Amino acid sequence: MRPLDISVINQNAPYKVYFDGTSYCFVSQGGATISIGFSLENEYSYTIGYWLGLDNSFAEPSAKDDNIRETVFCIIEEFFKQNPYYLLYFCEFHDGKQHLRNRMFRSWFTNYTHSDLYHIHTKDVVIKGNETYLSIIVPKSHPDFEDIINYFDEVVAIMKSGKP
């Protein structure tokens, strides 16, 4: 993965973003440190893709803060400028709030200024016995756009069937 240009992100991001050596981070007005990491997806890949990791240091919902959404998407935009791949995201299920996380993430995407440039495709899946949501974000300009979405659907179908 090519590194993201922090100076480009900070030109538009409401919160100042910094790189801590592994993740792109920022502190919200409410004091939560939000960390965004990217890790290579190497189990189900149709082509090169990355997992999007999104972590809130408070591990609890923060007050409605549109600046968090905007900053997250500034980081995602820069990811796609530097890396012509796709992103996978799954809602953590450790506390049973995966439905809320999915609704929030999809709402963020719906209200995102440049959502017309990307396609988000979400499916419900069971991971380790827990129902959760798996999403893929693909730039609509990706040369393998349709093949990637179709492959994602095939992988989800295999996951749902219980086959390895």
**3-state secondary structure at position 33:** strand
* Confidence check: pLDDT of 60 > 60: no
- Tens digit of pLDDT for each residue in 67-115? 999 999 999 999 999 999 999 988 777 777 777 778 888 888 888 888 8
pTM of the full predicted structure?
Answer: 0.89
Number of helices followed by number of strands (H, E) in the chain: 4, 7
Q: Structural domain of residue 22, as residue ranges?
A: 6-161
Task: Indicate the number of domains in the chain.
Answer: 1
* 73/9 Cα distance (integer angstroms): 9
> 150 vs 93, which has greater pLDDT?
150
Residue 1 included in any domain: no
What number is the average pLDDT over the span 30-58?
A: 88
DSSP class of residue 134 equals E
pLDDT reported for residue 17: 98
Beta carbons within 8 Å of 133's beta carbon, 6+ residues apart: 90, 91, 98, 101, 102, 122, 123, 124, 125
Q: Which amino acid is at 98?
A: Q
**Do residues 14 and 115 make contact, with C-beta atoms less than 8 angstroms apart?**
no
> 126 vs 70, which has greater pLDDT?
70
CATH code, 69: 3.40.630
pLDDT reported for residue 61: 55
